Structure formats: structure tokens, C-alpha cells
Amino acid sequence: MSKLGSIGARLYRGEVGYDFIGKRKIWYGISILITITAIVGLAVRGLNMGIEFSGGAVFSTPATSVSTAEAQAQAQSASGGHQAVVQKLGDGALRIQIGGLDTKQAVPVQEQLAKELKVPAKDVNTQLVGPSWGEEIANKAWLGLGIFMVLVVLYLAIAFEWRMALAALIALIHDLTITVGVYALVGFEVTPGTVIGLLTILGYSLYDTVVVFDSLKEASKDLTKQTRFTYSEIANRSINGTLVRSINTTVVALLPVAGLLFVGGGLLGAGMLNDISLALFVGLAAGAYSSIFIATPLVTDLKNGEPEIKALAKRVKAKRAAAAAKAASQEEGPQASDDAADGTDGPAVVGPRHQPAARNRGRGRPSGKRR
């Protein structure tokens, strides 16, 4: 842990870092591929809508030794061929959902199920959901999602800027598309718990994105007044500075959700846990990915199109080129001096060497004549 903290501190100070912005085309390609796969799965398989949205009946039976496959066949036979979804609960009880049943059809199906499962008919609990109620719930869910998106964009545009708001919106749509596509590919039932999970992950995805945006906003103050860093480099430092924090929060959030999904939903057979935990698990992972690899690179691309940011990039490049040329000339200067001292450079001196005549040479000297 101390080593991870040391790495996080070095990332925050900019001593080490990974070039997320420079490799953004790779992340865009990966996201496009995953999104296309999700859309194709959604178009081909479609969503398995629960009876809360499509209407039907839910039969809850007491503990029985009948397997889910046998109960499904018996339920479809008793309902006259209607599609049935059977889930075995932790205590051996069964939860049987049959879509398209009304009140008149539900009573004979309840009696037939009790006979096939060899349990008293009074112990089979029946719950009916009308299609109009399910449609109303679906419309309210879409309305809530739309209002949420509008408020998020307005807040981010006011608190930060419109480019960050647009990038966050694209990241949210990216996360929603992937989560819904996974639901279609896996075949999990879409219930009100699924809607709750989707709204939850949207908030979490925004949390990670806003953390990076806040760091970027603080670091880019008076950016055009300096010539040390470009906007892309500042954005990359912001991602690296919050990277360990994003990883820690994501892992801590995924661990209990994984417990709900794989232990609660898989081993205990709790149906509602499957619906909400899958949305949370996929959405949390997609949200952490989009905040690092999608949202901030998109902001960088949008900002790099501004004239001020373009001019800054040119000034930084020119300054670095001048510094490199100066460093190269300084390296060549000492080498030239060393060569001159060794006699290996410079023009050779040819001919006799003449000493300059000293002024007043011999003045005041004795002539050497003996008197």
C-alpha cells in the first residue's frame, strides 16, 4: 500500500505519468468497438423486459424439489404457451413470471401450477401487473433520465464550461449504451431495480469525471500566459494526478457490487439482486473507464481547436526548439575549445615567429667598453 501511495504521489507531482492523451485514438477505437457490439446485441437480442413493464403475473411457490427447467415447462403448458421465466430462490421456493396474463387467466394457471408442483393452491401467491401500469413506469423512467441529463449538462456548463459538459454527456451516453447492451447480450430481465441501478451508475460516472475536470480546471488557469506546457500536457497531468484515486474508489465500489452479483444473485438465487447488481457492476466499470479514456481526451480535442490554444502550442514548440538548439550549441562550444587546445583545429602557423621589438631596449645599460 505504501508503494501504491508513493506512485500516486509521484503521479500527482508529474514526476511519472502515462500518455493517455497522446494515445486517445486507441481509446476511441476501443470504445467505438464496444459500443457497436452493445448496439448490435441490443438490436438482435433485444431487452428481456420484466412484467413490471410488459404486464403479466408473478407466482411465488413454497419450497419444492422441482427443478427450474421442469417448472418452466409446466408453467408454459399451464398458461397456454406464454413465455415463462423461473427463478429458484435460496430456500428452494420458485418465482415464476408469465407475461401477457390477465386476471381471468391467472386463476386457472395458479391452480394448474399448484397441481403440477404438488403444493396447495392457497400457498401459491399470485401478483398481477397490468400493461398500462408498466408502460406508465417506463415513461416515467425515460422522463427522469431526460431531466437528469439536462440538469447535468446545465450544471457542468455553469461550473466548468460547455466543452466539459458536452464531453461528460457523451461519456454518460457511452456508459448507458454499454450497460444496456450487456443486459441484452446476457439476457437478464429489466426490472425497476435495473432502472435504479442505471440512475446510480450515472451519478458515479459523473463523480469520477468531475474529479478529473476539477483538477484540469485548476491546472489550466492562466494557461496562455506561460510557455512551459500545452493544454494536452496539462490534461494528461490531470488524469495522472487523479488516476490512483479513481482506481481506488472504483475497486472499493466494485467489491460489494460483485458480492451482490456473484454471491447474492448467483448462489442465493435472489432475482432482484441480479437486476440491480449487474447494472451497477457494468456501469461502475464503464464509468471509471470513460472518465479517464473518453471524457478528458474529448475535452482536449475540443480545446485544441481554439485559436488561443493553437497559438500556445506553437509558442511552446518554438521555445523548446530554441532551447534544444541552444543546448546543442553549448555542447559544441566546449568541444571546439578542447580541439583548439590540442592543436587539432584552427589554422596552422607557418613561417618564422617574430618577437616584437621591445621599446628602449639597451637604454641605461653599460656599453661594456673599458675605460
Query: What are the two backbone dihedrals, phi and then psi, of residue 359, each rounded to the nearest 5 degrees?
Result: -70, 145
Q: Which residues pair with 60 in a beta bridge?
A: 95, 125
Cα Dmax for the chain: 162
CATH level 2 (architecture), domain 56-129? 2-Layer Sandwich (3.30)
Kindly list the domain boundaries of the chain, sorted by start residue: 18-49+133-313, 56-129
* Cα distances (Å, whole numbers) of residue 128 to 53, 72, 108, 113: 12, 18, 14, 16
Residue with the three cell numbers 451497477:
280
For residue 106, what is its C-alpha cell?
Answer: 391467472
Q: Which residues pair with 128 in a beta bridge?
A: 57
Count CB-CB contacts under 10 A for residue 112: 16
Q: Does domain 18-49+133-313 have CATH number 1.20.1640.10?
A: yes
DSSP 13: H
Per-residue model confidence as pLDDT tens for the chain (371 residues): 555 556 555 655 556 668 899 899 999 999 999 999 999 988 988 887 777 777 788 888 888 777 788 888 888 888 777 777 787 776 678 888 887 777 777 888 888 888 877 788 778 888 777 766 667 777 887 888 888 888 988 999 998 989 999 999 999 999 989 988 988 888 777 877 788 888 888 777 788 888 889 888 888 888 888 888 899 999 998 888 888 888 888 888 888 888 877 776 555 555 566 778 888 888 888 888 998 899 999 999 999 988 998 999 899 899 888 888 888 888 776 655 555 555 544 444 444 444 555 444 445 445 444 44
State in Å, rounded, how far the first CA of the chain is from the last one.
104
**Nearest Cα to Cα of residue 58 among 90, 98, 88, 87:** 98
- Distance (Å, rounded) from C-alpha 289 to C-alpha 157? 22
- Distance (Å, rounded) from C-alpha 184 to C-alpha 147? 25
**Nearest Cα to Cα of residue 167 among 152, 180, 182:** 152
∠82-83-87 over CA atoms, to 5°? Answer: 130
